[in-house]
Amino acid sequence: MLAISTLPAIVDHTAALVVLAGPDGALSDGARSADAATRGAVSAAAKAARFEGEAGGIVELLSPAGLACHRLLLVGTGAADTLDALVAEKIGGAIAARLLTSGEVHVNVDVAGTLTGPLAAHLAHGAALRAWRFDQYRTRLKDKQKPTLASLALIGADAEAAAAHVRLAAIADGVARTRALVSEPSNILYPESFVERARDLAALGVELTIMDDAEMKRLGMGALLGVAQGSVRPARILAMRWNGTGREDVKPVVFVGKGVTFDTGGISIKPAAGMEDMKWDMGGAGAVAGAMHALAARKAKAHVVGVVGLVENMPDGNAQRPGDVVTTMNGQTVEVINTDAEGRLVLCDAMWWAQETFDPEIVVDLATLTGAIIISLGHEHAGMFCNDDGLAEQLRSAGAAVGEKLWRMPIGDAYDRLIDSDIADIKNVGPREGGSISAAQFLARFLKPGVKWAHLDIAGTVWASKPGPVWEKGATGFGVRLLDRFVADNFEG
C-alpha cells in the first residue's frame, strides 16, 4: 500500500513534485511558484499540450531547470464547483497511475490553497487505491514494469486533512484485503484458507465464529452443503462481529457474502472459455471481509456482523445432480434444476443462520450471483433488489457517494411464481428471462418477517478488464467503501 504523509515534518525536495491547476489551466499558488522558478516552463508546457485544467489531466516536465525535483507534474482539478471527494480521488488516482512505474519513489503534492481539509485526504486516498497491484506471482517483470512509487506527501495540508486520512487509510486497507482475496487463484484461496486469512481481524477487535461442515450438517444446512459435496475442500461459515457501540442491546446490521472460491458450475458445467475467471465468484465474501476490516480499523461506532458462506463447486462423482432435492436450514425444500445456480443455495442457509443467530432488523447480502445482471447493467452499476424503500435509498446514496453505483431492480409476486417447483417448495432457477430477478426472489423466501433486506448482485463490478480511476485492471474491491459509507451515514451517531 502506498505510504501517505499528510503533515510531513521534512520535505524531500528531490522527490517528484505535483502542482495543480484549475479551469483554463489557471495555476495554483504552488504552480505559479514552480512556473516562476522554471522561468515560465510550466505555463509554456501547459500551452503546448493544450492543457485546460480538466480533472486528472496531466502535463509532465522532466528535469525542470530551476527546481530540485527530477520530475514535475501539472495536474488539473477541474472547476471548483465540481471538485468533490470523488473528483479528488480521481486526481489522486491519475497521479499514482502516471508515477507508479516511472522510477520515482516519492512524490510531493502541493495542495496549499487548492485542496483543503478532507479533499486533500481524498486525493491521497485515490492515489493509494490506484497504486495497489497484485504482482505476487509475476517473477519475470522487467525493471521498468515494476512499481517504484512508495510514498506520497501532501504539502500544505491541514490538520483536518490529517484526521480525514486516518479514517480513509483504514478503508483503503479494507479494500486492499478484498482485492487480495479476489485476486488469489483457487489453489491458494479455498474455504479453509479464506478463514485462515481472516484470523488477523481478531487483532482489530473483530469477534470470529467459524463453523465446519459437521456443525453445518447438524444445523441442517442442506442447500449449502449440497453445493460443496463435489469438492475435496470442505465448506465453512465464517462470522465476523464488530461492536463499536459499547452496548449489547443494539441489534446488529448483518452483511452476508457469497463465497464460492471456485465455481465450475458443478455437473451443469460451465464452458471452458473464461472459466478461470470463476476464482472471483467469492467477491461478495471478499467485500464483506474487507468491510469488516475497514469498520474495525477505524473503530466505527456501530454494531455490524459479516457472515460468509464458503464453498467450492466441483463436478466429481459425489457432486450434486440436476434434479436433486435438498432441505435448507429453515426446512424449505429446493429442487436443484441447475447446479450452476449455486450461489443462492449457499446464501439461503447463510442468511437464515445469520438471522437465527444475530436477530438483525437489516440484512444486506452481496454476491456475484448472475450473469444476467451483467446483461442488464453492464459493468457500470451493481444490481440492487430491496424490500424496503428507505433501505434502498440509504444504499443507493452510500454507493453514489463513493463511486460504487447501484441500480434498483424490480421484485414482486409475478417474479416469485417463476421459481415454484412441481415437486418441492422452490426450484433454484426460473426461466432465462429475468434471471437476476428470480435469483433475488429465491433469496427473499429466506427472510424472517419484518426483516429489511437488500440483495446486491455485484457480478459485473468486482473485476475489471481495464484500469479505472482508482483501480488497476483486475479486482476492484467493489462493496467495501459502499458498506462502510452505509454504516457511517446511518448507524453511527
Pick from 7-11, 45-49, 243-247, 266-270: least confident: 7-11
- What are 435-449's pLDDT values in tens digits? 999 999 999 999 999
- What are 159-172's pLDDT values in tens digits? 999 999 999 999 99
The three-state DSSP-derived secondary structure of 37-71 is: HCCCHHHHHHHHCCCCCCCCCEEEEECCCCCCCCE
pLDDT for res 10: 87
Work out the average pLDDT over 392-408.
98
Contact 325, 423 (CB under 8 A): yes
Cα(2)–Cα(130) distance, rounded to whole angstroms? 9
Handedness of CA 295, 297, 299, 303 (dihedral sign): positive
pLDDT for res 9: 85
Work out the average pLDDT over 247-272.
97
Set out the domains of the chain in order of their start, with CATH numbers. Answer: 3-162 (3.40.220.10), 189-490 (3.40.630.10)
- What are 464-473's pLDDT values in tens digits? 999 999 999 9
pLDDT at residue 223 is higher than 80: yes
Instruction: Label residue 326 by pLDDT band (50, 70, 90).
Output: very high
Instruction: Label residue 41 by pLDDT band (50, 70, 90).
Output: very high
pLDDT for res 493: 75
Cα(116)–Cα(47) distance, rounded to whole angstroms? 27
pLDDT for res 425: 98
The model scores a pTM over 0.85: yes
Annotated catalytic residues are 270, 344
pLDDT at residue 300 is higher than 90: yes
Q: Tell me the pLDDT of the chain averaged across its residues.
A: 97
pLDDT at residue 215 is higher than 80: yes
What one-letter code names the amino acid at 56?
G
Whose cell is 528535469? That residue is 63
Backbone φ and ψ of 339, nearest 5°: -75, -10
Residues of the chain with pLDDT > 90: what percent? Answer: 98
Work out the average pLDDT over 446-463.
98
